[in-house]
Amino acid sequence: MPIGPYIRATTLDYLEPNDVRAELTKLAASHPGIMALRSEIKSLGFKPVAGAKGVWGTKASWTRSDNQTVSFEISVQSFAKVGSKNQAALLNVTTVGPDGATDIYRCSLQAPGGKWSKAVERYADKNNRILPANSYWSRAWRCITGSCGVPCRNSLVACTGGLAACINDILALCGGCAVKCLACAACNGRWWCRWAVGSCRD
């Protein structure tokens, strides 16, 4: 029997594409930050990718032996531009700690030539100004390519399509490891969630 608290249960639930799209559409119509990010993406000539491959989402949780739980949810919407290999994505990331405290991060990514290793991250501040960031995606990328095995790394590096489809494809190779990395990037080493998903810091 392990000494001290240990993770006794994990859950992983892939969300239905229609549910993900409906939730992101609702946010895009009601949340100023998401509205600003989406407007910037569309102003650059990008349009949402249609169909099931245009969105992706998952929910996951980790429960400790002392019944503390960390939960995580991410939704991704892909955008493409006619006549261009450039890709864009909108991300909505939520982490909930054992005490119910909720951390939400929303950002956009723009990948020149569809190369997600070179993606530019932007977020909306509290005044809904769009500002550059080098945080969530860079942490997630380092974790996935460094911790989830060679096939998973190669699949992510080679993928130049929509981000939702890319993430969906790598899950066939590394499943829970990739989701844990996405959650680790959101946690960013904070004490209340790092016991569940590890420490990914800038």
The residue type found at 155 is S
Beta strand 55-64 with 7-14 is antiparallel
Distances (CA, A) of 154 to 26, 77, 144, 145, 174: 35, 22, 10, 8, 11
pLDDT value of residue 59: 96
Residue 78 tokens read as 């892909």
**Which sign does the torsion angle of CA 154, 157, 162, 168 carry?**
positive
In the chain, what percentage of residues exceed pLDDT 90?
Answer: 72
pLDDT value of residue 1: 52
> Does 80 map to a domain?
yes
> Does 2 map to a domain?
no
Question: What residues contact 200, with CB distance under 8 A and at least 6 apart?
Answer: 139, 140, 142, 143, 181, 184, 185, 187, 188, 189
pLDDT value of residue 99: 87
Q: Where are the alpha helices (DSSP H) in 32-125?
A: 32-43
Rounded to an integer, what distance in angstroms lies between the CA atom of residue 91 and that of residue 182?
Answer: 11
Beta strand 47-48 with 130-133 is unpaired
Question: Within 13 Å of residue 37, how many CA atoms lie on the same side as its CB?
Answer: 34
> Does 201 map to a domain?
no
Tell me the pTM: 0.93
> Does 1 map to a domain?
no
For residue range 56-83, list pLDDT tens digits in order: 999 999 999 999 999 999 999 999 999 9
Confidence of residue 144 (pLDDT cuts 50, 70, 90): very high
Q: Is 90 exceeded by the pLDDT of residue 93? A: yes
Q: Is 90 exceeded by the pLDDT of residue 126? A: no
User: Count of H helices and E strands in the chain?
Assistant: 6, 8
pLDDT value of residue 2: 58
pLDDT value of residue 202: 58
In which domain, by residue range, is 121 found? 7-196
Query: In the chain, how many domains are there?
Result: 1
Question: What's the maximum distance between 2 C-alpha atoms anywhere in the chain?
Answer: 58
> Does 179 map to a domain?
yes
> Does 202 map to a domain?
no
